[in-house]
Amino acid sequence: MTYMEIFESVTLKLQSDDLDLSEARALFDATTERYRSMSSYLSDHADIIHDPDFENGIIEILNKKAHAKKKEQSLVSCFLIPGESDQEGAEEKDFAQGVISRKRRKIWGKESNKYICLKFINPTINGAERTFSQSKYVLHPESSSMSPHHFEF
C-alpha cells in the first residue's frame, strides 16, 4: 500500500458515523507509528486536543480498562451511572437494580459498567464539516437570485 492509499483509508474511516473515539485514537496511533513525522499532529498530546487527560479517560472507558491516573478518573466522573459507583458488596437499592447491576458486571466486567455508554461522543467534527460542505452547493452564484424565503426551505 502506498502512503496515499493509507491516508485515504484513514480519512474515509474517520468520516464514518459508526467510529468512536477509541477507534479514532487507534487509527491515529497506527498512523504515527508508521509515519513518525505525523506524531506532532496526531499524538494523544497534540496541540489540537483541548484536554488530553479527559480524552484519555474517555478512551479508557470505551476500551473497558481501569483508569491509570486519578486526574483522568476525576474528569470522567460526570459519566458515572448514579448508584453504580458504590462498592461491589454494597446492598442494592431494589431487586430490579440488583439484577441489572449483576448483568452489567457479568457482561462488561467490574469497571466499565460504572459508566454510561460513551459511543455518542464523536471523535471528529465531521457532521459540522459535512453541513458546511453541503451548503456550498446551495450558496453559489447561480442561486444568487433566490429569495431568502425559498432559501430557508
94 band by pLDDT with thresholds 50, 70 and 90: confident
Between residues 73 and 136, the one the model is more confident about: 73
Mean per-residue pLDDT for 118-122? 82
The total number of structural domains that make up the chain: 1
139 band by pLDDT with thresholds 50, 70 and 90: low
Does residue 54 sit within a domain?
A: yes
Does residue 145 sit within a domain?
A: no
Does residue 65 sit within a domain?
A: yes
The pTM is what?
A: 0.62
Between residues 12 and 98, the one the model is more confident about: 12
Does residue 152 sit within a domain?
A: no
Does residue 150 sit within a domain?
A: no
The predicted-structure confidence for 36-62, as pLDDT tens digits, reads as follows 888 888 888 888 888 888 888 888 888
Domain that holds residue 107: 3-125
| Residue 92, pLDDT above cutoff 60 | no
Residue-by-residue DSSP string for the chain = --HHHHHHHHHHHHT-TT--HHHHHHHHHHHHHH-GGGHHHHSTT-TT-S-HHHHHHHHHHHTT---S-HHHHHHTGGGBPTTTTS-TTSPPSSHHHHHHHHHHHHHH-TTGGGB---TTS-SS-HHHHHHHHHHHHHSSGGGTT--HHHHH-
Does residue 113 sit within a domain?
A: yes
